[in-house]
Amino acid sequence: MVLTVHHLGISQSERIVWLCEELGIDYKLVKHTRAPVLSPDSLKSLPGNVLGQAPFIEDSDTGVTLSESGAIAEYIIHKYGGGKLSIGPDADAKTYASYLYWFHYANATLQPALQVGMFVGLAKLEDGAMVKGLADRRLHVALQQLDDRLKDHKWLAGSDFTAADIMMVYCVSTQRYYGLVSLAPYENVLRYLRDCGQRDGYRRAMEKGDPEMEPLLGAQAPAKSLIDVGGTESDIWKKK
Ligand SMILES: N[C@@H](CCC(=O)N[C@@H](CS)C(=O)NCC(=O)O)C(=O)O
């Protein structure tokens, strides 16, 4: 089996590298560097990568190519991971529902709220601008719900670490290089990020996928968006 994982530095595809490390499966990692913000030709030109984005995988055993973090995570877990890190319908129904909810919440609710916030931030609107107020409010509600969940649960699905956590962490860590979100008001999210950051699988994934990047696991956001300072050409994202 050759499962090729295409990873774009400082991006959502860190989730897939992390997943493969947690599952302990064989995979080939191909790294791409932003040029200097968007995808380079090496990623855009891959057959089957219609949107030219990462994550993107190629499975030489099946001929499958696939995009979309959640779809890729499910494909790898069930095809090569023996279902590990997922919770299925045979589990306790509430735990199963929580797993599904948080797995999808990451990219269906939180990530869009973060991206709207990012674009509003880049637009440099005045403080009182209505659209800025709406975006801030929507993002706060989404983060507060996450914080509330993590108050009484070590991991998103409950007592076990799952792929729902792998889907979530990019949103509250590396994404903040683009949209400047402080996590200071969300102490449970900060505890959770500390726990995730201590996992061997997370550390290995970051070391393999983004060895130069300082993981953003603390409260403070960078002073400027990576988009505003020239993407990978700047060094604000690098370890000091
Ligand atoms: N919903 C997609 C989003 C993919 C996506 O937006 N990837 C970004 C990296 S975070 C990308 O490839 N950006 C480069 C570009 O669009 O040119 C997923 O979860 O896989």
Q: Is 232 in the pocket of ligand 1 (CB under 6 A)?
A: no
Ligand 1 contact via 54 beta carbon (within 6 Å): yes
**Surface-to-core class of residue 238, CB atoms within 10 Å of its CB (0-12 exposed, 13-18 middle, 19+ buried):** exposed
Instruction: Find the Cα–Cα–Cα–Cα dihedral 143, 145, 146, 152, rounded to 10°.
Output: 140
38 lines ligand 1 (CB under 6 A): yes
pLDDT recorded at residue 1 = 73
Q: Looking at ligand 1, which residue's alpha carbon is closest to its atom 12?
A: 53
pLDDT at residue 138, rounded to an integer: 97
Q: Which two tokens stand for residue 113?
A: 């709220």
Say how many Å lie between the CA of residue 196 and the centre of ligand 1.
Answer: 22
Percent of the chain with pLDDT over 70: 100
On whether the CB atoms of residues 36 and 232 are closer than 8 A, the answer is yes
* Residue of 7, 12, 115 to mutate, ligand 1, most atoms within 8 A of C-beta: 12
The per-residue pLDDT string of the chain (240 residues; one tens digit each, 9 = 90 and over) reads 799 999 999 999 999 999 999 999 999 999 999 999 999 999 999 999 999 999 999 999 999 999 999 999 999 999 999 999 999 999 999 999 999 999 999 999 999 999 999 999 999 998 899 999 999 999 999 999 999 999 999 999 999 999 999 999 999 999 999 999 999 999 999 999 999 999 999 999 999 999 999 999 999 999 999 999 999 999 999 999
Instruction: Tell the residue nearest (CA) to atom 11 of ligand 1.
Output: 53
Q: What local confidence, expressed as pLDDT, does residue 223 receive?
A: 95
Mutate to test the pocket of ligand 1, among 19, 42, 53 (most ligand atoms within 8 A of CB): 53
Q: What is the 130 CA–ligand 1 centroid distance (Å)?
A: 28
Domains, the chain, in order of start with CATH, read 3-80 (3.40.30.10), 93-230 (1.20.1050.10)
CB of 111 closer than 6 A to ligand 1? no
Whose CA is closest to 75, among 33, 32, 15, 31?
A: 15
The rounded distance, in Å, linking the Cα atoms of 116 and 112 is 6
The Cα 8–Cα 38 span in angstroms is: 9
pLDDT single digits (tens) 181-202 = 999 999 999 999 999 999 999 9
Per-residue pLDDT at 174:
98
Give the pLDDT confidence of 202-224 residue by residue, as tens digits. 999 999 999 999 999 999 999 99
175 CB near ligand 1 (under 6 Å) = no
Q: Distance, CA 179 to ligand 1 centroid (Å)? A: 14
The predicted structure's pLDDT at residue 190: 98
- From ligand 1's centre to the CA of 90, what distance in Å? 33
